Amino acid sequence: MHKEHVYLGVGSNLENPIKRVTDAFSALHTIEDTRVLKTSSLYSSKPMGPQDQPDYINAVCLIETALKPHSLLKQLQQVELDFGRERKGERWGARTLDLDILLYGSQQIKTADLTIPHIGMAEREFVTVPLFEIAPSMICQMENPFLIGWLTALLMG
Ligand code: A4P
Ligand code: MG
C-alpha cells in the first residue's frame, strides 16, 4: 500500500487549546491507514485576522497516510467536528480545532475545496516556525524573504 508523507497544521484558541492540540495528535492516530510520525512543540501566537478572539496554540505534525488528499480532508473535518468545531461563517473566527493540510508529498492541488500547499503557509510564522522545528529542509525550500533573513541571521550568529 502506497503511503504519503503529509504535514498538517493544527490550531486551537477555544476551550483549553493546549489540551485540544495534544488530544488532536492522538485523534489523528485513529484515522484509517494513518499514523503520526512527528509532532512539533506547541506555540502560542496572537490571532491573525479578527483580534476579538483569544490567542492561539499552534503546532504542526508529520503523518504517513494511505488516504488520498480529499479522503484525508474529509477525515480531518470529521475530527474537527468531534472536537466541537462550529463553523459560523466568520472568516478566521475562533475555533476549538483547525486541521489544515499544509503539504501532501510533493503534490500541488487546486480544486474548489482543497488547495495544497495550504494558502499563505509560507507567510505565517505560526506555521513556518513549528515546521522549521520538525522539517528544517522543507522550510528552506520555501520562498519567504522574512524566513530567509531570519535563518541567515540565526546561522551567522
Ligand atoms: N481547504 C482548502 N485547502 C485546504 C487545506 N489544504 N487544508 C478548504 C484544509 N482545508 C482546506 O476551512 C475552509 C475550507 O478550506 C474548508 O472547507 C476546506 O475545503 P475551514 O477550516 O472551514 O475554515 P477556516 O480555517 O476559518 O478557513 P481558512 O481560510 O482555511 O483559514 P486558515 O487559513 O485555516 O486560518 N491565527 C493564529 N495565530 N493561528 C491560527 O492557527 N488560523 C486561522 C485560520 C486564522 N488566524 C489564526 C489561525
Ligand atoms: Mg483551516
Summarised one tens digit per residue, pLDDT across range 7-30 is 999 999 999 999 999 999 999 999
CA atoms of 124 and 128, how far apart (whole Å) = 6
CA 139 to ligand 1 center in whole angstroms: 20
User: Which ligand sits closest to the CA of 76?
Assistant: 1
Question: Catalytic: 100?
Answer: yes
Summarised one tens digit per residue, pLDDT across range 111-152 is 999 999 999 898 899 998 999 899 987 876 776 666 667 777
Residue 102's SS3 state is strand
Domain 4-120 has CATH 3.30.70.560: yes
CB 72 within 8 A of CB 6: yes
Closest protein CA for atom 42 of ligand 1? 92
Report the interhelical angle of 69-82 vs 17-29 (nearest 10°). 130
> Domain residue spans in the chain?
4-120
